[in-house]
Amino acid sequence: MINSVVFFGFFLLKIVVFTVIFLTNPSLYDILSREDYIIENMTAIALFLSSIFLLLSAKVSRKENKFVSYLLLFIGIVFFFGAGEEISWGQRIFGWETPESIAAINDQNETNLHNVNKKFFDRLVDRATIIFVFLSTYLLLKGRTKFQNIPYPDGLLILCFLITPFYHQYNFVKFDFYHLLIILLFTLLYLGWRKDRKLLFSSITTGLILLVIYYFHSTNNENFADHNNSANEYREYLFSLCCLYYSYFIYRFQFKLKDEKQTVQNNI
């Protein structure tokens, strides 16, 4: 099983690679994030796989805890919807026309909901991430590890989620709601200093990564394309990677519980 240390390193490496491409080849950075190119498609794949892991988890936990099973089923459907939305439900793949009723209210003339009010849906993901990080950090401070049969994310995964809202273009400096996550970064830093050196080092590294993102995105703002959407696509991709790892973690946890119960029954 992939552990959180490996994922944390992989996640930060992704950001470093994106930063190098952004600084050395802005046109490639833009191309990779365009409609139907690698970043968007990988985001859709990650969200789809997340939904699969969650739906399988719902199936495994059905006999043990129906509430958990229905909760995972619902979240799995949400992620399946997100994957479909990301690629406009295959419209550009299969080439069908957008219905007139949707085209009239869709900013990009596509068969999806998120472009009806893109700002709302973009901010919805950010807000959900912020709430998730706040709750997860609180539960980590309280020493809680799971809700019934659903494991909570550990400190390193929380840090990965914490990073994603900061991946912006930074056309100008202003206070935004997600900046409150800095408080949680210091909270995790303190928790790491008190109890967990791995979390301490990871929190320091996260702070440095946030500075790297802000510095290079703000001082090289002219490298971004005029459509102002590249950073958003990369941010969504980073978010989808966090979701994929967490859903995989939940999936593995459910099977571990099932195997442990089967072992107990076999020993009776």
Q: In the prediction, which pLDDT does 211 show?
A: 95
Q: In the prediction, which pLDDT does 49 show?
A: 97
Most confident of 94-108, 167-181, 241-255: 241-255
Percent helix, strand, coil in the chain (nearest 5)?
A: 75, 0, 25
pLDDT at 174 over 80: no
| Residue whose C-alpha is closest to residue 164's, from 135, 114, 126 | 126
pLDDT at 145 over 80: yes
| Residue whose C-alpha is closest to residue 184's, from 165, 197, 212, 168 | 165
Distance CA 154, CA 128 (A): 18
The token pair that represents 80 in the structure block: 């399946």
Q: In the prediction, which pLDDT does 83 show?
A: 87
The confidence band for 120, taking pLDDT boundaries of 50, 70 and 90, is very low
Percent of the chain with pLDDT over 90: 56
pLDDT at 18 over 50: yes
What's the pLDDT tens digit per position in 187-198? 999 999 988 899
> Is pLDDT larger for residue 83 or for residue 202?
202
Average pLDDT over the chain, rounded to an integer: 85
* Amino acid letter for position 32: L
How far CA 94 is from CA of 12, 97, 133, 168, in Å, comes to 35, 10, 38, 32
The confidence band for 244, taking pLDDT boundaries of 50, 70 and 90, is very high
The confidence band for 17, taking pLDDT boundaries of 50, 70 and 90, is very high
pTM: 0.87
Q: Where are the domains of the chain?
A: 4-267
> Is pLDDT larger for residue 251 or for residue 102?
251
Average pLDDT for 166-192: 88
* Amino acid letter for position 215: Y
Distance CA 181, CA 189 (A): 12
What's the pLDDT tens digit per position in 121-138? 567 788 889 999 999 999
Average pLDDT for 77-92: 79
Q: In the prediction, which pLDDT does 58 show?
A: 92
Q: In the prediction, which pLDDT does 37 show?
A: 85
Average pLDDT for 79-98: 70
24 alpha-carbon distance from chain centroid: 26
